């Protein structure tokens, strides 16, 4: 008689401990990493796998999912490093949208539906298995109840016992009670069965040695620092315990209590381990939720400058760094929190990219406007029309200030180009003005000399000769250019004062006043538009030609007069007087033309 027929020495606690698997254990039993595949290959492989049986491919599907996101993370990191290596700031990096991820998610959704259907069919199978074992158990109980024919039913009981032990999935809630009923039934059967005492004692002894060894092995697991590994090893020990027959009745409870106590301690350590991990996951969940709320609190609509976006980017990168330091949250919330956090990050960097794109377009337009101003400035930099060109340059500089910024890489170059053209023009102007100031100083000395020579004309000089000298000096004065601005009024007053003295003495008031008034008019026109000076000059030249023709007429007519008659003598004097007046007017016109030429 073999020990397979002997009563298993176990109770509901040991059976339940060996039957169930916790979610944490399943997480520890995660699949090994998938082979190195590209994301496209992973999707192709996944498409093939989901067509197969769920129970055969579920671990491979999970491997491929993990491999896909791991590969994606590596590719994003490589792209980021390449972006930074190209000289771009890390804050401007935006990952390329992953169109394949939607395909992956749709395939995983199909697989989840198949898995759900598989799970439902598995539960149905478990219920059917439970009904079959309960039927076997009822037959075993009926055999045990017939004590008179128990020896005759030995073979059938053995068959039922083996049939009951056949491995199959059962509803976890029914496992403990089912095995407890089986244990009670078997114990009752063997208690009633009349077996050779020596063989029974031998089996008891052998079973005692094996179960004692299992107790020692279970107690040794308490010193194992790997709590999860110890728990898994305990499940194997429970499987072995079930396969060993009974021991002497008086030792059964003591031996089982020893094994159970060791199992309880291992289970307690395992439970404490996962309770501690759940606490860590809870704290991680709270921390990740806080990070989600913090990043969602960023008002992206209020970010209206590069500086504000850069500051916000530093904040987001800091939040991402802090996220990476956190471990897993609970399995239920971990992926949800990650999707929530990633969604806001993606939205932030997408909005940032859109802002930078818009601003760069504006900067490109600003650059074209500034290039146009540079071209205008460069076209005018060699102009010697100092006043008009200065006004244009001032207008260009004002317009420059109204144009917005350009890209940093162009900012210095375009500004240098513009300011170089401006500086060149104003340097040329200043150089010319420096030369002009020297000329004005020389003109001042010349005018002072003329004033001194006017003062030298005293009453001893013949009036006609004096008037001639005055007119010559006035003509020289009109040919002399500008004097220093601060000396202009002073020298002119001194000059006018001396002329007043001489004009009063020589009766030259009318001509002098006319020339003086014209000189003031010329100064006004010179400060304004030179076109007026050109038109006035042409007008004076026409007047000069008219006076010249008029003078020629008088000179021709004077030859026809008979100077012997008294009447002719009076007419001749009148004509000579008019001719002298015309000559004076022509001389005045010449002086006016000279004044205009000096101011052009």
Structure tokens at 530: 């030179």
Any idea where the domains of the chain sit in the sequence? 364-418, 530-600
Q: Which of 343, 348, 430, 344 is nearest to 101 (CA)?
A: 343
Q: Do the Cβ atoms of 383 and 425 come closer than 8 Å? A: yes
What is the average pLDDT across 311-334?
86
Helices (H), 528-565: 530-558
Say what the pLDDT of residue 345 is.
92
User: Left if phi > 0, otherwise alpha if psi is -120 to 50, otherwise beta: which for 507?
Assistant: left
For the stretch 333-383, pLDDT in tens is 888 888 888 998 998 889 888 888 888 888 889 888 888 989 888 888 888
Q: Do the Cβ atoms of 136 and 181 come closer than 8 Å? A: no
Structure tokens at 321: 């760094």
Cβ-Cβ contacts under 8 Å for 459 (sequence gap 6 or more): 505
For the stretch 152-190, pLDDT in tens is 777 888 888 888 888 877 887 877 788 888 888 888 777
C-alpha–C-alpha distance, residues 531 and 544, integer Å:
20
For the stretch 42-66, pLDDT in tens is 888 888 888 888 777 888 888 888 8
Whether the full predicted model's pTM is greater than 0.75, yes or no, is no
Structure tokens at 171: 């509803």
Cα–Cα distances in angstroms (integers) from residue 158 to residues 3, 132, 137, 189, in the given order: 11, 17, 12, 11
Q: Do the Cβ atoms of 170 and 133 come closer than 8 Å? A: yes
Cα–Cα distances in angstroms (integers) from residue 116 to residues 55, 56, 121, 332, 544, in the given order: 11, 15, 9, 17, 116
Cβ-Cβ contacts under 8 Å for 238 (sequence gap 6 or more): 14, 15, 17, 18, 263
Q: Which of 129, 163, 230, 176 is nearest to 15 (CA)?
A: 176
Structure tokens at 460: 């001893």
Say what the pLDDT of residue 593 is.
83
Q: b vs e for 499-512, b when ≥16 Cβ sit within 10 Å of the residue's Cβ?
A: beebbeebebeebb
- Asked if the model's pLDDT at residue 385 lies above 60, the reply is yes
Say what the pLDDT of residue 19 is.
40
Q: Do the Cβ atoms of 208 and 248 come closer than 8 Å? A: yes
- Asked if the model's pLDDT at residue 497 lies above 80, the reply is yes
Q: In which residue are the tokens 């007519």 written?
A: 557
């Amino acid at each position: 008689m073999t020990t397979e027929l002997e009563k298993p020495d176990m109770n509901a606690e040991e059976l339940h401990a060996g039957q169930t698997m916790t979610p944490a254990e399943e997480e520890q039993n995660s699949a090994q990493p998938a082979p190195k595949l590209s994301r496209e290959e992973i999707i192709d492989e996944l498409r093939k796998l989901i067509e197969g049986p769920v129970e055969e491919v579920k671990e491979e599907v999970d491997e491929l999912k993990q491999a896909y996101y791991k590969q994606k993370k590596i590719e994003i990191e490589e792209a980021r490093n390449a972006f930074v290596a190209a000289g771009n700031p890390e804050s401007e990096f935006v990952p390329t949208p992953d169109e394949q991820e939607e395909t992956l998610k749709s395939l995983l959704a199909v697989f989840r539906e198949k898995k759900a259907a598989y799970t439902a069919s598995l539960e149905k199978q478990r219920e059917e298995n439970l009904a079959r074992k309960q039927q076997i158990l009822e037959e075993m109980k009926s055999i045990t109840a017939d004590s008179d024919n128990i020896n005759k039913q030995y073979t059938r009981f053995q068959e039922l016992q083996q049939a009951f032990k056949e491995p199959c999935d059962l509803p976890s809630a029914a496992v403990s009670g089912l095995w407890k009923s089986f244990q009670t039934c078997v114990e009752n059967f063997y208690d009633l069965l009349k077996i050779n005492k020596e063989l029974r004692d031998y089996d008891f002894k052998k079973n005692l040695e094996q179960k004692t060894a299992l107790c020692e092995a279970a107690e040794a697991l308490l010193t194992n620092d790997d709590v999860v590994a110890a728990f898994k090893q305990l499940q194997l020990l429970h499987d072995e315990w079930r396969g060993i027959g009974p021991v002497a009745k008086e030792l059964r409870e003591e031996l089982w209590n020893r094994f159970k106590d060791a199992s309880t301690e291992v289970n307690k350590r395992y439970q404490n381990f996962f309770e501690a991990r759940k606490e860590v996951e809870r704290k991680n969940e709270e921390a990740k939720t806080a990070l989600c709320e913090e990043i969602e609190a960023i008002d992206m609509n209020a970010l209206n400058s590069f500086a504000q976006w850069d500051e916000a980017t530093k904040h987001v990168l800091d939040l991402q760094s802090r996220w990476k330091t956190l471990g897993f949250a609970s399995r239920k919330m971990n992926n949800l929190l990650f999707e929530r956090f990633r969604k806001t990050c993606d939205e932030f960097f997408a909005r940032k990219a859109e802002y930078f794109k818009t601003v760069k377009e504006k900067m490109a337009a600003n650059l074209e406007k500034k290039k146009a101003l540079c071209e205008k400035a460069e076209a005018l930099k060699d102009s010697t029309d100092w006043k008009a060109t200065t006004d244009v340059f001032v207008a260009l500089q004002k317009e420059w200030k109204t144009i917005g910024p350009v890209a940093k890489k162009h900012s210095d170059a375009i500004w240098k180009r513009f300011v170089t053209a401006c500086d060149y023009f104003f340097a040329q102007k200043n150089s010319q003005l420096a030369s002009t100031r020297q000329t004005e100083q020389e003109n001042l000395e010349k005018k002072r000399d003329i004033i001194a020579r006017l003062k030298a004309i005293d009453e001893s000089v013949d009036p006609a000769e004096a008037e001639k000298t005055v007119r010559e000096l006035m003509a020289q004065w009109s040919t002399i250019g500008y004097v220093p601005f601060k000396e202009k009024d002073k020298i002119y007053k001194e000059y006018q004062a001396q002329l007043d003295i001489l004009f009063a003495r020589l009766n030259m008031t009318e001509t002098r006043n006319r020339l003086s008034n014209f000189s003031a008019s010329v100064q006004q026109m010179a400060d304004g538009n030179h076109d007026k000076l050109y038109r006035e000059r042409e007008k004076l030249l026409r007047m000069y030609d008219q006076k010249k023709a008029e003078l020629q007429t008088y000179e021709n007519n004077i030859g026809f007069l008979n100077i012997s008659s008294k009447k002719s003598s009076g007419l001749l004097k009148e004509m000579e007087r008019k001719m002298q007046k015309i000559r004076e007017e022509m001389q005045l016109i010449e002086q006016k033309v000279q004044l205009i030429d000096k101011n052009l």
